[in-house]
Amino acid sequence: MARLLDWLAWAPAGIYLIGSLAAAATGTRGWTALVVATRCALAAALVCGLRDLLAPGSGIAAPAAAAAPIVLTLIAFLGWIIGDYSRRYLRGEPGQKRFAIAFLATLAAVSAVVVSPNLGVLIAAWTTSSAGLHHLLTFYPERPAALLVAHKKFLASRLAEGLLIAAAVLLYREWGTLDLSTLTARAASVAVLPLAVQAAAVLIAAATLLKCAQLPLHGWLLQVMEAPTPVSALLHAGIVNLGGYVLIRLAPLIGASLPAQALLVVAGSLTAALAGLVMLTRVTIKVRLAWSTCSQLGFMVMECGLGLYDLALLHLVAHSLYKAHAFLTAGEAVRDGLERQIIARSAGDAVSPKPLWQACSPLAAWIIITVSADLWHRASGLPPLPGIATALLALGLATLLWSPALWLRPNLAGLSAVAVGTQVYLGWHWVLAGRLGIPAPSPSPVLSVWALLVFAGLYATQASLSQRPPAARASRFYDWIYAGLYLDERFTRLTFRLWPPRTPSGNNVRLDDPNCSSPRRTP
């Protein structure tokens, strides 16, 4: 019986796989198989989570064994919601059966990544999820933009998987195993990692950055709008976040390698800052959401690089739920005129916040956050932020992120909203605190200062731009920020030069095709 319970974590992946095969075998559109599979997988994930509450960590490789049931349930819940939405959204479309097969196969691979006890199996499952996503991104194969985005995603994923395979080879040659529990235990037991293991940790960090669409190969994540809306929701909420979860699973290995931590912190913080600025220049709902995802993923991998694994897990769950809801309700946002409101604000119709209040906002946010953390500390007797070795760093980053929320409402209502939001955030952190079982390493002081300076610079830039009139914002700097420093254009041109994408008929997609051009700023 115990052995049977240990295999329970694999039940959702098996259910999705059986559902995909059933959808392929039937002569219908495959929706019945999808509906049954997503509901059964959700039930199995809930049972797995309940078992984890009764016997923490059983059946799933440590460390961070408690994170697996949480993420597994999250994926199953998203699969259920997005699957039901897809059935309504794609009604009348050709290729519905093909969508159902690829959707369930992708969920099966993602679920396998979550529960895999072996690094080799994890890499294989992650590669399979990328292949399933490729079919979803090319649901409309006649659209050149969809083919271009899928091709760019294909190249970035294959590069990432090559780095992961190289890392697995180095780890196996050095320690003779790919078992995650053994690898992380050995990483935690040595004072200094061997050179080969250091290199493997850096390769894993680099592969995660590629999988999470970090600079400079981030463009494909921003251009998946040619795929159906359910594909965008699944990608942004349930697939691209996997990089953060893998870093949590390998926390002792990443935390023992300063070069890997530095790579995650520098790349993640710069991506979060740049994407956060670019998002403010865009007015289209889905494009803003895509840049938001890029920024949030950068912040999440930065948290992992700083050793803030509890916050990274909370960030992953909260971002997934929010982004799924945002994409699935994007049509209602357009209908309700949200885009018109954004355009009006960007045109200067909205009142700019007072400079004095912008200068005082960080202090107000700091007081609210520290008082909230102290209240939780007094109520529970636990440290202000349990499971985090550098609570001061975490509170400083939270202060810089909460401060802009006070700009538009510089009154008691704004202060109350930030206070309530902080209490909710800390409350969820308390729920997850201690569940991971990962010793929180103290990050390098240099990396901590770097992260604080990057986000302080982001805050100052946002404040400066908000004070300029619309005409003054139409500057060379604004153009470069709107275009994301033209990083994606350079990668796209390199792609066409080395390996151009092809249409189903075998013809090359043309870069000068207007359907493939990146969105430009209109005068």
Burial readout 260-275 (b: 16 or more C-beta within 10 A, e: otherwise) = bbbbbbbbbbbbbbbb
Q: Quickly count helices (H) and strands (E) in the chain.
A: 25, 0
Average pLDDT over residues 478-484: 71
Distances from the Cα of 216 to the Cαs of 98, 128, 440, 477, in angstroms? 32, 24, 29, 19
C-alpha span between 57 and 478 (Å, rounded): 50
Report helix, strand or coil for 497.
helix
pLDDT at residue 204, as a whole number: 95
- Of all residues in the chain, the percent with pLDDT exceeding 70 is 77
CB of 356 within 8 A of CB of 406? no
Bond preceding residue 504 cis, omega within 30 of 0: no
pLDDT at residue 104, as a whole number: 94
Q: Residue 474: phi, psi to the nearest 5?
A: -80, 65
Take residue 330 and report the two structure tokens written for it: 């994007």
147 or 521: which leads in pLDDT: 147
Choose among 100, 87, 78, 111: nearest CA to 23: 100
Confidence of residue 380 (pLDDT cuts 50, 70, 90): low
Average pLDDT over residues 453-466: 79
pTM confidence score: 0.85
Identity of residue 115 = V
227 or 352: which leads in pLDDT: 227
| Tally of CB atoms within 10 A around 360 | 14
DSSP letters of 274-286? HHHHHHHH--SHH
pLDDT at 378 over 80: no
Long-range interactions of 87-95: CB distance < 8 A, separation 24+: 87/31, 87/34, 87/35, 89/228, 89/229, 89/230, 90/228, 90/230, 93/228, 95/139
Average pLDDT over residues 324-344: 64
Choose among 175, 100, 223, 189: nearest CA to 501: 223
379 or 444: which leads in pLDDT: 444
| Tally of CB atoms within 10 A around 88 | 8
pLDDT at residue 6, as a whole number: 59
pLDDT at 85 over 60: yes
- Of all residues in the chain, the percent with pLDDT exceeding 90 is 23
Residue bearing tokens 């945002």: 326
Lowest mean pLDDT among 5-14, 133-142, 299-308, 376-385: 376-385
Dihedral of alpha carbons 169, 126, 295, 247, sign = negative
Report helix, strand or coil for 308.
coil
pLDDT digits (tens, 9 = 90+) for 393-449: 777 777 777 777 777 666 677 777 777 777 777 777 766 665 666 665 667 788 888
pLDDT at 376 over 90: no
Choose among 107, 67, 84, 102: nearest CA to 32: 84
Burial readout 51-65 (b: 16 or more C-beta within 10 A, e: otherwise) = bbeeeebebbbbbbb
pLDDT at residue 2, as a whole number: 43
404 or 204: which leads in pLDDT: 204
Residue 213 makes CB contacts below 8 A (sequence gap 6+) with: 156, 220, 221, 240, 293, 294, 297
CB of 304 within 8 A of CB of 248? yes
pLDDT at 29 over 50: yes
pLDDT at residue 348, as a whole number: 47
pLDDT at residue 385, as a whole number: 61
C-alpha span between 167 and 202 (Å, rounded): 8
Confidence of residue 206 (pLDDT cuts 50, 70, 90): very high
Partners of 502 in beta bridges: 508
Average pLDDT over residues 49-73: 68
Report helix, strand or coil for 43.
helix
Confidence of residue 15 (pLDDT cuts 50, 70, 90): very high
pLDDT at 383 over 50: yes
Name the residue ranges covered by the structural domains of the chain: 1-115, 118-350+471-500, 360-467
Lowest mean pLDDT among 201-215, 285-299, 326-340: 326-340
Confidence of residue 353 (pLDDT cuts 50, 70, 90): low
Residue 351 makes CB contacts below 8 A (sequence gap 6+) with: none
pLDDT at residue 220, as a whole number: 82
Confidence of residue 262 (pLDDT cuts 50, 70, 90): very high
pLDDT at 91 over 80: yes
Best-predicted range by mean pLDDT among 156-170, 227-241, 383-397? 156-170
Take residue 41 and report the two structure tokens written for it: 């997988």
CA angle 247, 248, 254 (to 5 degrees): 55
Identity of residue 263 = L
Confidence of residue 287 (pLDDT cuts 50, 70, 90): confident
Average pLDDT over residues 446-464: 83
270 or 61: which leads in pLDDT: 270
CB of 136 within 8 A of CB of 227? yes
Confidence of residue 218 (pLDDT cuts 50, 70, 90): confident
484 or 115: which leads in pLDDT: 115
pLDDT at 263 over 50: yes
Choose among 71, 119, 121: nearest CA to 245: 71
56 or 123: which leads in pLDDT: 123
DSSP letters of 175-197? HS--BHHHHHHHHHH-SS--HHH
Length of the chain: 523
Lowest mean pLDDT among 83-97, 180-194, 237-251, 379-393: 379-393
C-alpha span between 452 and 459 (Å, rounded): 11
